[in-house]
Structure 1
């Protein structure tokens, strides 16, 4: 789909302007960007060996990431960057301790020339290529988050390059380069300019932040994301119009299977540290137990539940269960293949058979599969379950966030509610 009708687009712009106080929000962002700029000068670029205090890092992370610790619905943040809190803290401290890296990132933040900025981004990706610090992912999330936080007037807070490409196609814009072969720096800088120029052409003046919020304005997002809302007898249902095959070929990649088993092992370990007993499907046990060494009494041989045989058979197939005495507290489905649908079906079957069951449900998948998970959770069939839509009771957790939890000290003293600091619901806006 592309935008051809200037009149229709102008109507969307008018609706957005009536709902969004651009002048007031730009003033808020001017202050936030000043805080970020001062952090770079006063904390990152100073020559000392002391680590940056977590509290100082957290103040900036709240601006960079909607999921940042301490954010609420009333606070402003660039976007949901899908980077764990601890990873952000380590990254900011790495900028401080590794001055070559910190200076390179800072140079691209302050660079005004588009071509030079693109070259610096490409240089950074080469410089950081061997590191596992979330900085130089192919989606561009981290770099775009830093750019937008440092200068929200000139840099879009549409941080995902996938979203930018979809918007460009939706607007019917011509790319001056081949997207698949272009460098990451070219994609970031040119897509920023193309979308900003197109917004002005369609009558939307203002900062890059204002333009970004326009494209995530629900009536607009529903168009380029392919999402629509329809009314049912029980309320509104979000319907996704597929733009690609919903069910990708589910060929098993040995590497991804191995990773999923490691995540099952991590979830089992976290659960036992917090005092839960664990259930694993019997077909998975031999492989998971190569990673997680269960102690006597930690792994259940039979589920101590009083449900009917059909419900029990469904529950037994869920990838990881945390139980306290005879009650399931949390259930986790870990992505095993490119298809997410089968895990969600097990969750939906469970809710359909036991609508009053009070279990917290989670889909665990790689961060690059986050959008796919959200789309699947919001399928209409899952919105029509008796009493509750699956999107209201099943959340998304990334593989990386569970690794982050696994590294926390003193897990045995923590509540399982720590999981809720890392989860996302399908209703969250990017």
Structure 2
């Protein structure tokens, strides 16, 4: 990955001129002490009784911006997207399940990077299959606990997705593996790389200070990819451009469905290549898709030959499979394996919102059992408010079985891509 040529110094200067790091660090020293005391005196105490909602809520307000009772001026780690009741149950589970509570506490206290990563991995294994919001694929909850316990050394950029976007955009590291290493290693390494990278760039502060820098509006809009577009009624709506792959909710998929979606992504790419198209795959997906599809030289594009603005291009780059002829996109495919079947549709809708006059043919590819869900979502009223055309007029459904049928057709090399229209289903 090449480092982006970004002059970050003026952003740091502007941030430090308005952010009182010394005062904020003093506040967080007090908050972290309350969290530490709560662990030792309540969670790990021998008192067999449950923790009260009142004492849990005091800690939840520190962990979660959306915690009950928080105000706009209160300090909190981040918006963690964990319901209040789930937080309370989780804290009580740490109290009643002593081995689990002690393991989480060991994670929080560990200062050696490799050992901390190993403990986080152990926690994920121990908690596997438990629907308690603790060990999701984004790392949000574990990172929130770490930031509250030690805000000096642990970033309150709690999402691995956000950390990846920050690292990639600002070129904070040339080599970091996102797909293969364990969740513990990704949490620990991304935390270290951002802290070290910002120190090199001139921002010398606590992890909390550095995280607040990245969430300043003028900085966040750079790496987060936010864009304002206009609806058909001339009202403005905000579109967040995805800069890294989606994080699927822990409960929404299993390994088998992920493997099947990878096979399907590769099959869609193979069909397009057989018909003479060049193919685009998101760079984060390539290593796994290329295990099931071997393109001929020159078929898989390294860069998109498009003339759209950077915001639109970032959106297009994250679509699962693109078929291109010369410098034009013919068809775009999103392979949906999640329960919500929603992330791909949102990406398609963002694209249409950003480019109302775009004429790409859009397809959602999903298993037959998700057919009704896909068609229902395409018909959502919000997608009819897009300037230009409603999403249902541009986007169709293809089942896994139908894509397999197309892939089995003889003489694909002599066929037009219009054969897809025989198999697709519109959301009437």
Q: Flag whether TM exceeds 0.5 (same fold).
A: yes
Alignment partner, residue 85 of structure 1: 84
Within 2, Cα distance between the matches of 1:47 and 1:117?
26
**Of 340, 347, 358, which aligns to 2:382?**
347
1:244-255 correspondence runs (5 A)? 244-245=315-316, 249=333
Shift of 1:173: 3.4
CA contact under 8 A between 1:204 and 1:211: conserved in structure 2? yes
CA contact under 8 A between 2:3 and 2:172: conserved in structure 1? no
Task: Call closer, same or farther: CA 1:338–1:142 in 2, change over 3 Å.
Answer: farther
Shift of 1:171: 1.7
Alignment partner, residue 31 of structure 2: 32
CA contact under 8 A between 1:247 and 1:339: conserved in structure 2? no
Shift of 1:174: 3.3
Is residue 46 of structure 1 aligned with residue 69 of structure 2? no
Within 1, Cα distance between the matches of 2:388 and 2:216?
25
Alignment partner, residue 129 of structure 1: 128
Alignment partner, residue 376 of structure 1: none
Alignment partner, residue 217 of structure 1: 216
CA contact under 8 A between 1:256 and 1:337: conserved in structure 2? no
What does the per-residue CA deviation read over 1:169-215, in whole Å, with 9 as the maximum and x for residues that have no partner?
11223354522010011000010000001111111111000000111
Within 1, Cα distance between the matches of 2:223 and 2:187?
19
Shift of 1:38: 0.7
Shift of 1:130: 2.4
Alignment partner, residue 266 of structure 2: none
Alignment partner, residue 68 of structure 2: 69
Task: Call closer, same or farther: CA 1:27–1:53 in 2, change over 3 Å.
Answer: same
Within 2, Cα distance between the matches of 1:247 and 1:174?
25
Q: Secondary structure at the match of 2:157?
A: coil
Task: Call closer, same or farther: CA 1:339–1:9 in 2, change over 3 Å.
Answer: farther
**Of 329, 336, 339, which aligns to 1:256?**
339
CA contact under 8 A between 1:3 and 1:9: conserved in structure 2? no
Within 2, Cα distance between the matches of 1:244 and 1:129?
33
Within 1, Cα distance between the matches of 2:109 and 2:319?
43
1:301-316 correspondence runs (5 A)? none
Following TM superposition, the consecutive aligned residue runs of length 4 or more in structure 1 with deviations greater than 6 angstroms are 234-237, 338-341, 379-382
Instruction: Say which is worse superposed, 143-152 or 215-224, in terms of deviation.
Output: 215-224
Shift of 1:235: 9.1
Q: Secondary structure at the match of 2:212?
A: helix
Task: Call closer, same or farther: CA 1:198–1:235 in 2, change over 3 Å.
Answer: farther
Q: Secondary structure at the match of 1:136?
A: coil
Shift of 1:2: 6.9
Shift of 1:256: 2.5
Q: Secondary structure at the match of 2:339?
A: helix
Q: Secondary structure at the match of 2:85?
A: helix
Within 1, Cα distance between the matches of 2:79 and 2:72?
13
What does the per-residue CA deviation read over 1:127-175, in whole Å, with 9 as the maximum and x for residues that have no partner?
1112111111110000000000000010000000011111111122335
Q: TM-score by structure 2 length?
A: 0.58
1:1-400 correspondence runs (5 A)? 4-5=4-5, 8-174=7-173, 176-228=175-227, 238=238, 240=241, 241-242=311-312, 243-245=314-316, 249=333, 256=339, 342=378, 346-347=381-382
Task: Call closer, same or farther: CA 1:3–1:229 in 2, change over 3 Å.
Answer: farther
Q: Secondary structure at the match of 1:107?
A: helix
Structure 1: gaps (5+ residues): 261-334, 353-378, 383-430
Which of 1 and 2 has higher RCO (CA within 8 Å, sep 6+)?
1
CA contact under 8 A between 1:2 and 1:171: conserved in structure 2? no
CA contact under 8 A between 2:31 and 2:148: conserved in structure 1? yes
Within 2, Cα distance between the matches of 1:77 and 1:337?
37
Q: TM-score by structure 1 length?
A: 0.58
Q: Secondary structure at the match of 1:256?
A: coil
CA contact under 8 A between 2:94 and 2:100: conserved in structure 1? yes
Shift of 1:21: 1.2
CA contact under 8 A between 1:237 and 1:380: conserved in structure 2? no
Within 2, Cα distance between the matches of 1:137 and 1:120?
15
Within 2, Cα distance between the matches of 1:380 and 1:201?
44
Structure 2: gaps (5+ residues): 242-310, 321-332, 343-370, 390-428
Within 2, Cα distance between the matches of 1:33 and 1:91?
19
CA contact under 8 A between 1:122 and 1:185: conserved in structure 2? yes
What does the per-residue CA deviation read over 1:301-332, in whole Å, with 9 as the maximum and x for residues that have no partner?
xxxxxxxxxxxxxxxxxxxxxxxxxxxxxxxx
Aligned residues: 277
CA contact under 8 A between 1:62 and 1:69: conserved in structure 2? yes
